[in-house]
Structure 1
Amino acid sequence: MNRILAVDDEPAILRLLGAVLGRGGYDVVPASDAAAAMAALARGGIDAIVLDLGLPDRDGLEVIAAVRASSQVPIIVVTARSDVAEKIAALDLGADDYVTKPFDGDELLARLRSALRRARPDGRSAEQLVHGPLRIDFARHVLTRDNAPVALTPREFAVMGALIEAGGRIVTHAALLEKVWGKAHVHDVDYLRVVVRALRLKLEADPAHPDLIRNEPGIGYRLTDA
């Protein structure tokens, strides 16, 4: 049974997290502040962290940075903060995903299952990765959907490679732009929108209503399992 460290300073939310995670079949380790969370992590045996950003003794962003200094344990941020910049900061610091309060329990469990799957690589060669109906072969520079090759430009291939490597995790606009176009273009989001629009025309069953390449408004993109 996976052990999940649930961190929130509101007793009612901590109880709710315990109930939701328990319903999902997880063993829950509660912590009401950053100090208790870091102590629990240091004791070992934690498989993932569900973390509130608004803690009384230390900002949640600092906690993410501290965890990432020594561990790659999955981190799901649960926050009432609506500022897009803070969500991007959490992802850039190493959070795997986030949900916004008030949260849906089933969504939280789905995001957690996805993060735990990514944390357990299955041994595939890094030259080939699979995500849902997609398979990418980096050595041969080939992407297939449902085993059918899809013709992509070099930049389209690079964007899909980054999204598939993320395995369903959000990739921020800045991260995609830096990876594909370079650091000088991290603010040129229109470049990215043009490529994503072209990818949807080639990969989506209904490009007007995409269900594979999901937009996270103001933040970035993620792949679903469609």
Structure 2
Amino acid sequence: MALTSEVPDAGYRRSVTPGLERGAILIAIDEPSLTDVAAGQLEDVGFSTRTVTDGYEAVRLVAETSPCLVVLGASTPPTGGVELMRRIHARRQVPLILVATESRAADRIVGLRLGADDYLGEPFAPAELVARVEAVLRRRARPGRRSAAVTIGGVEIDPARERVTLDGRQVKLTPREFELLSFMAQHPGRTFSRVEILDAVWGDSSCRSEVSVTVHVRRLRMKVEEDPSAPRLLETRRGFGYRLVPSA
């Protein structure tokens, strides 16, 4: 998914800052008073926004209007944030920040494993939301992400189109899985520690964890390895980290 500053016309409130346009943010949280304040803060720094309280409407808008980022509440009806996140990513690989209370910590953990780019505890300060949005978009737009396509062992990684195929068949990856595989593909044969991978792929995200690297590598193997229990592409170098084997 290419990040863009173009703003869709489907009901988005445009930035109140003249001459500054930073793209459209879709906010899907079931507390209108909170979302209105958050939307105002985002508009103050150049984003256009649309707020909804119905999850199915959010899924439809992601498919139809291509926002540059989604802020999704873990309790957003009718299905809750985790199921809505699956539906959103099935339609478009859009960056996503999950908002969850401490009582919904399990949803937050599952959401991160499914590819949420970051999370916020609820209630949150609108200024913190703005900072998290800016950080996620910075990571997603880092120079060097869109290098030439690479083919290794029947797997083609095309950063420019954000597309992965295995023997010609498209593989569905979450945004984080794609970014991890794309990063490794830029350095075939090189071993990276979990900390190095965190710095390159997770950046300054609040959900940094070496366990997250392990989980995402395991999920990638399930999708691109012929036998995930005996990986030939994403190799573990015990005591060192992981590498993408160039001759897999």
TM > 0.5: yes
2:31 matched residue in structure 1: 10
Amino acid paired to 1:167: G
Partner residue, 2:42: 21
Write out aligned runs for 1:213-224 (5 A): none
Q: CA RMSD in A?
A: 3.1
Residues 175 and 45 (structure 1), Cα distance of their counterparts in 2 relative to 1, 3 Å cut: closer
Distance across 1 between alignment mates of 2:37 and 2:210:
33
Pairing 1:65–2:91 present: no
- What corresponds to 1:98 in structure 2? 119
Q: Give the number of aligned pairs.
A: 163
The C-alpha deviation readout for 1:91-111, integer Å capped at 9, x for no partner, is 011110011112122221111
Write out per-residue CA displacement over residues 3-37 of structure 1, whole angstroms, 9 at most, x where no aligned residue: 00011122211212222222232100111111111
Pick the aligned partner of 1:115 from 108, 133, 136. Answer: 136
Structure 2 length normalisation: TM-score? 0.56
Q: Which residue, out of 152, 158, 178, partners 2:193?
A: 158
Check conservation: 1:4, 1:46, Cα contact below 8 A.
yes
> Which runs of 5 or more residues in structure 2 are unaligned?
1-20, 149-183, 222-227, 230-239, 241-248
Distance (whole Å) between structure 1 residues aligned to residue 74 and residue 105 of structure 2 = 13
Task: Find the aligned partners of 1:21 and 1:53 in 2 and give their Cα distance.
Answer: 20
Q: Is the 1:65–1:94 contact (alpha carbons within 8 Å) kept by the matching residues of 2?
A: no
AA aligned opposite 2:203: G
Contact 2:74 2:107 in 1 (8 A): no
What are the within-5 Å matches in structure 2 for residues 119-198 of structure 1?
119-123=140-144, 138=187, 157-163=192-198, 164-169=200-205, 170-178=207-215, 179=217
How high is the TM-score relative to the length of structure 1? 0.61
The answer to whether the Cα contact below 8 Å between 1:73 and 1:119 also exists between their aligned partners in 2 is no
Asked if residue 55 in structure 1 is aligned to residue 76 in structure 2, the reply is yes
